[in-house]
Structure 1
Amino acid sequence: MPELRKDPVTGRWVIIATDRAMRPADFIRESVEPKGGRICPFCPGNEQKTPPEILAYRPEGGARNQPGWTLRVIPNKFPVLRVEGELSRHGEGLYDKMNGVGAHEVVIESPEHSATLSQLSETQIEQALWAFRDRILDLKKDIRLNYILIFKNHGESAGSNLEHCHSQLIALPVVPKRVREELDGAKRYFDFKERCIFCD
């Protein structure tokens, strides 16, 4: 199971998730072409190569975990945090530690393998935003989770392991120190000037 450790000097929490080393990669440079080519687990027809879907939009209807979707949300097969378990915060030596409880999901924004974010239609972008909202509303019900982050990597240089267009959502049991500092700074500004710093 992943775990979170708090840096005793900076007060920042870090995630230790050794299972992430097992992720597949479309961008590994090999001297020999893989036999049979790579099969994308995010493409329609390969739904059984991913964990069972959490959410999918199927305008024509259809069965779960089958083709016919325009957007799918699945648990990350190699998560940095897992929904199962208790936080169990405890000290060990210098560190405060807790189990890596949280959520790590993948939002597959399009069934088209080679589509990029800039190539998605307005409807597809709208669907992605609705999916983010739906997942955030659902995850907010879990009292163990305190912060939700949505991010997108595209391409090898950005750290993406798979080429197919997707975003990720991570729900954390702690609010990152940097976010807390920004919120506190914005509150101090408002208290002093009686105005929102983000509106000025």
Structure 2
Amino acid sequence: MKTITILNGISDDSYTEFESELDRLAKDAASERKINIIRLRDLDIRYCTGCWDCWVKTPGICAQKDDMEIVYRSVIQSDLTVFLSPASLGFVGSLLKKTCDRMIPIVHPYIVFYKKELHHKSRYKKYPKLGLILIDPDKSAIDFENTRRIFSRLSINLKTDLTLALHIAGSEKEANDVYSSL
């Protein structure tokens, strides 16, 4: 059974209909795939302080004592991790951005060559494929392409692939399109 984690970075109730429909579809899919939607706004996720304890003092464990452990565990155990966020100033919103910043412990501090570049050594044998869903009612092609490129680079850092990149307005109908693409 395919396991999917959706990191929902919607910070308020701006897209309630979209979220409700996506939740409903995920529950209905329980027999064919396991979809874990994590509403980041419901968790206590603090900002990375750049202390590097997760690499030096307590390898793989962040010094922040918050709910990121839930996120780490779900991401590493999934086959696909989808980053879902409204566009904000040409990128993902701050809630998803700080969550991405806190992903540092899932790689080692050591450097290796990968695809003719220097990247961090993997901490785990397998990382999930990655997906990006950017909600942008204005559908700015430049913002989407820049965001897609950054998440494509993140996928290289995790020795995986960005296999899904959708640019949507956030309507209830689009929840079906999102679900179909998973």
Q: TM-score, normalised by structure 1?
A: 0.29
Q: Which has the higher helix share?
A: 2
Q: Which has the higher strand share?
A: 2
Instruction: Kindly indicate whether structure 1 or structure 2 has the higher relative contact order, using CA contacts under 8 Å at least 6 residues apart.
Output: 2
Q: TM-score, normalised by structure 2?
A: 0.31
